[in-house]
Chains A and B, each alone.
Chain A
Amino acid sequence: MAVDINIMVGGEAGQGVQAAGFIIAKALARYGLSVFADQDYESRVRGGHNFFRIRAGDGKVGAISEEVDILLALDQLSVDLHKGEVSSDGVIIFDSDKTNVGPGKRALGLPLERTAIETAKNKQSANTVALGAAMAVIGYDVAALKSVVLDYFGTGESGPANADAAARGYEASRAGSRWGIAKQASPASAQKRMMLNGNEAIAVGALAAGCKFVSAYPMTPSTTIMEYMAGKADELGIVVVQPEDEISAINMIIGAAYAGVRSMTATSGGGFCLMVEGLGLAGMTETPIVVLNAQRAGPAIGLPTRTEQGDLLFALHASHGDFPRVVLAPANVEDAFWLTVKAFNLADEYQVPVIVLTDQYLASSYATAEGFDLSKVQIKRGQLLSEGDPSKPEHYKRYEITASGISPRAFPMQSAAPVVADSDEHNEEGHMIEDAETRAAMMMKRQRKLEGLKKEISGPRTHGPPQADITLVGWGSTLGALREVVDTAAQHGLSVNLVHFAEIWPFPTEAANMALRGARRTFAVEGNPTAQFARVLRTEMGHQVSGAILKFDGRPLTPAYILAQLRKEVA
C-alpha cells in the first residue's frame, strides 16, 4: 500500500477519545481510503485510559497495526503508555500546557485546552483541536475536515464551534506537514463508502431482513445494537423492548416469533448463559429466532469491555437435549450485515434458533465497506400455510411429520386454524404426549432439518497461495488480521495460506475437507486458551491441527502478534 497511516487517540474516559477517533476515521474514509479502527476502553464512564486506533490505506485494510504514526495524547498517561508504539518517523501531538513528552520521539506540542476554550469556549473540545493538528500533519484538506466535523456535531452551536477548533489545531501545526495524503487520495476521486462498526452492520442487517421485534437487556459489547434499533424504531415501524432480564428477552422474542414476526435478541456471554433454556424452547417449539452473542472475555463478568472468542463450544451446545441450530460467526462488517440477513432466512425456513457470534472487537471496530446492495436482500420466510388458507384449518398440524422435517407454519389468526405449540414433547397437532413412538418420530423429524441446513452453509474462505508450508485456520472476526499475515508472510521468509470459517454450524464438513486437503502444517489461530475451533475440526472431520496460536488477554489478534508467534512456532 502506498498509503498506510496509523493514528491513535488516547485519553481518559470522558475526554472525547471516541469522538476524535471517529471523526478522523470518517475523514479518511471520505478521502476514499480503506479504514479500519478499533476501540480499547475500560469499564468506566470517567477517568482511566481509553484509546481508539485508526488505520487507513489505499489497499484493503482489515486489521489494526501495532505501530503508530501519529499519537494524539489527550493526557499524560497516553504518552507514557504508548510512546513506545510510535514509529521512528512518527509524531506525538500533545497539550504543551499539561503534558510532558520527553526526548526520543518527534513531538508537536500545542496548547490544546487553551485553544479549545478560545475557539469553542469549552476545554472539552481539546480533542477536536488535536485532531485538527493531526490532519494537518498528514496533509488532509482543511475544508474537507471542517465538513466532517460539522456533520458529526450538527449545525447547532457546537458544530461551527468545533469546526473552528479543528481549523485552529490544523493551522497551528501546518509546519509539520508530511505524508501528503492529499496527493494520493482526495474527496473528489473517492467513491462513496460507508463506515460502520459491527454492531451497526448487524442492526441494519436485521432491519433490512424485516426484523420487527427486538427484546434485549443491556450488556456490553452488544448494547449499541438495541440502542441503534430503538432509535430507528418509530421510523421503521418496529418495536424494541428492554425487559427485566435476558430470560425474559428470549422468551419474549419466542412469543413474538410464534405470532409471526421476525424477532431477535442481542446479548453477550453472561446474558447468553441466561437464555440457554429459552434457546431449547425455540428448538422444541420450532420457533424461528435470531440470538446475537457479542462475545466478551469470560467467564462470569470477565473483562466487560474486551474481546474473546471463548463462547464457540458453548454456542454449539447450549441447552439440554438435541435440536438443530445454526451458528454463524461474521468475519467483518460486510459479513455482519449479510449473515444477519441469512440468519433470519435460515431461522424462518428451517424453524430453528440461529446464533450469530461476534465479539467485542468486531462489535465496536469501524471499517469502511462498499455499499450493501439492498436489491440482493431476499426475505425467505419458508413454508407458510398461505394467508387465510381455508382448505383444512380444522386439521392444521403445526408439527406435521414431513420428509424435510419442516412443517408448514401458520400464525395465530391467519386463518381459522388454531396454532398449538408446545415445550413438552408433542404430537403433530402440538399437544403434549409421552409415548415412546411419537417422541422418537418427533425427534427424528427435528433432526432431519439438519440435512437441508447443511446444504445452506457456505464453506470456508481461502486466501493466499494454493500450496503453502503453513495453513492458518481461523474463524469469525480474525479474517482481516489473518489475511494480512498471509500477505506479508513471504517478506519474513514464510510460506503461508489461510482457511477461514464464518459459517460454522451445521459444520460444512465437505467444503472444509476440500479446503484443508493439501495442507501440510495447520495452525489454529483463535482468541481463546483452548483452541475451541480446533476441537470442532477434530470432532467433525478428524483433522488434528499441528499447533495453535492463541490469545486470551482480552485484546484482539493483530497481524504483528500472529506473525511473531508463528515465527516462534516454526523457528
Chain B
Amino acid sequence: MVNIADYAGGQPAWCPGCGNFAILNAMKKALVDLALEPHKVLMVSGIGQAGKLPHYTKGNVLNVLHGRTLPAAAGAKIANPGLTVIAVGGDGDGYGEGGNHFLHSVRRNHDITYLVHNNQVYALTKGQASPTSDVGFVSKTTPHGASTMLNSLAVAIAAGGTFVARGFSGDPDHLAELIKSGIRHRGFALIEVLQPCVSFNHRNTNAWYKERAYKLEGTSHQAGDRFAAMQKSQEWGDRIPIGVLYRQERPTFEDEFPVLAKGPLVKQAMDPAQVSALLDEFM
C-alpha cells in the first residue's frame, strides 16, 4: 500500500499562500490514488518556483536547466519506459525558454505528463512578465504592459496534442483527478494549472481565478472533438474553463521504436561482438 506519508519530502521554500502548495498536494494525492511507489516515479523539473516542487516530495528527481525539462524527460522515458515520468515547470520555463521543446514534445506525443504551473509571471526572478501574462500586465521589464498572451492550450491542440487540460490550484480535488487522468493517458498529457502568485501577480489572484473558473465536466463539451476543443481554448476572460479540453488516442513516440517493445533500453545487454557484422560490411 502506498500512502501519503511515502511522499513526504523537504520543507517548501515557497511564500505562504502560494498556489504551488495545493499543486504539490494534488500531485501527491494523485500518485497515492494510483498506488504508484515513489521509486517508480520520475519528476523532471525546470528552474523557477515551480521547478522546486520535486524537492518537496519523494521519488526520482532530475532537476534540470531553465526551459529544458521536456527533452530531459523524453530521454529518460525512452531509456526506461517503465518509469512514470512527470515533467514540472513554470509558464516562463515551458512556454518562454522552452517554447520550441514544448511545441515538438506535444507533437511527438512522448508518454509523459507535463504540469505547467501558470502564475502568469516570472516569480523566481521577482516579477517580470511571462508569455502568458495578461495583456497590459505591467512589470519592471514591461512598463508599457505585456503584449498579447500566448494561448498555450490552443497551441498544444494545434501541435497535435493528445491530452490538453487546465486545472486550478484553488480546486485541488479536481486537479488531482486531472493529474490522475493525465498519468493514465498514453501519450503527452499537458495539464496547465492556474496558480496564484501572491507575491508578484496582484492582478490574477486566487479570487480572480475563482470568480472565472468553471468546470467542463457536466457541460456539453466533447473532449474528443478537436474543433470544439479549439473553440474552448479561446475562452479567457469572464469565464475560464477548467478540465479536459481535448483528448485523443494515437501511438506514442515510444511506440515508434520496435526495440522498446523488447523491454527498457536500460535493461538491454551491451555486447561489443554485436557489431562484428557491421565491421564485415567495411571489408
Contacts and interface: CB of A to CB of B under 8 A. Distances in A.
Nearest to B253: A241
Contact of B40 (A236, A255, A413): A413
Contacts of B79: 212-213, 255-257, 259-261, 263
Given A237-B259, A418-B38, A420-B61, A194 B100 contact: no
B47 A256 contact: no
B62 A237 contact: no
* Majority SS at the chain B contact face: helix
Contacts of A195: 282-283
B65 A423 contact: yes
B86 interface: no
A254 interface: yes
Given A243-B71, A419-B60, A259 B76 contact: yes
A244 B64 contact: no
Interface residues of A, number: 68
Nearest to A29: B283
B272 A210 contact: yes
A421 B2 CA distance: 23
Interface string A165-205: 00000000000000000000000000011111000100010
Contacts of B42: 259, 412
Contacts of A196: 282
B16 interface: no
B71 A248 contact: yes
Interface in B5-62: 10, 37-40, 42, 44, 47, 52, 54-55, 58-62
Given A260-B80, A379-B272, A252 B62 contact: no
A423 to B, nearest CB: 5
Interface string A234-253: 10111101011101110111
Interface in B240-283: 257-260, 262, 265-266, 268, 270-276, 278-279, 282-283
B63 A421 contact: yes
Contacts of A542: none
Contacts, number: 194
A215 B75 contact: yes
A75 interface: no
B133 to A, nearest CB: 24
B63 A213 contact: no
A432 B63 contact: yes
B173 to A, nearest CB: 26
Contacts of B257: 233, 239
Nearest to B59: A418
A497 B262 CA distance: 54
A248 B270 CA distance: 25
B197 interface: no
Given A213-B75, A260-B266, A413-B82, A204 B65 contact: no
Interface of B: 10, 37-40, 42, 44, 47, 52, 54-55, 58-65, 68, 70-80, 82-83, 100-101, 103-104, 257-260, 262, 265-266, 268, 270-276, 278-279, 282-283
16 contacts: A209-B270, A210-B271, A213-B75, A215-B71, A239-B257, A248-B104, A256-B76, A258-B75, A259-B80, A379-B270, A419-B61, A420-B60, A420-B61, A421-B62, A423-B63, A430-B61
